[in-house]
Amino acid sequence: MRFVVLFLAVLAGLKVWTQDRLYRSAAGEALIAAYQERAVGACQAKPKADARGQPLVVGALDWSKAKADDIMFGNPAIEIAVWQVDHALWNARYRNPILRLKFEDRLTRIVCDYDVLAGQAAVRVL
């Protein structure tokens, strides 16, 4: 009897995990499809400097050919501790959806992080 109960618990856990993975992948694809054009426009309009103000030697990149990498929640480039909930940029750091466009070659990796809610882009060399 224990085996049957344990087996049913494992099946229930597997069902919940599968539904969560399917929901997250479908929601991610929908967000990428909905906001990719806006992200490309914002990345094209960005000055060619990274977040630290260092000039980027990227030439005229065509961001429309960049790979829409993924959707992240929160911008890890903003340095705010999780307990600083009253900080003005807390939502940007931990909650705002970020669409990442990526250019990669053998030597460099250039990314543009587009904040969906703020409508702003940040170009960085990784």
Structural contact between residues 119 and 99, judged by C-beta atoms closer than 8 angstroms: no
pLDDT in tens, 68-81: 878 888 888 888 99
**pLDDT at residue 108 is higher than 90:** no
12 burial via Cβ count (<10 Å: 0-12, 13-18, 19+): exposed
Model confidence at 4, pLDDT cuts 50, 70, 90, reads: very high
User: What's the confidence (pLDDT) of residue 46?
Assistant: 64
Mean pLDDT comparison of 6-20, 43-57, 81-95, highest-scoring range: 6-20
20 burial via Cβ count (<10 Å: 0-12, 13-18, 19+): exposed
Alpha helices in the chain (DSSP H): 2-45, 90-94
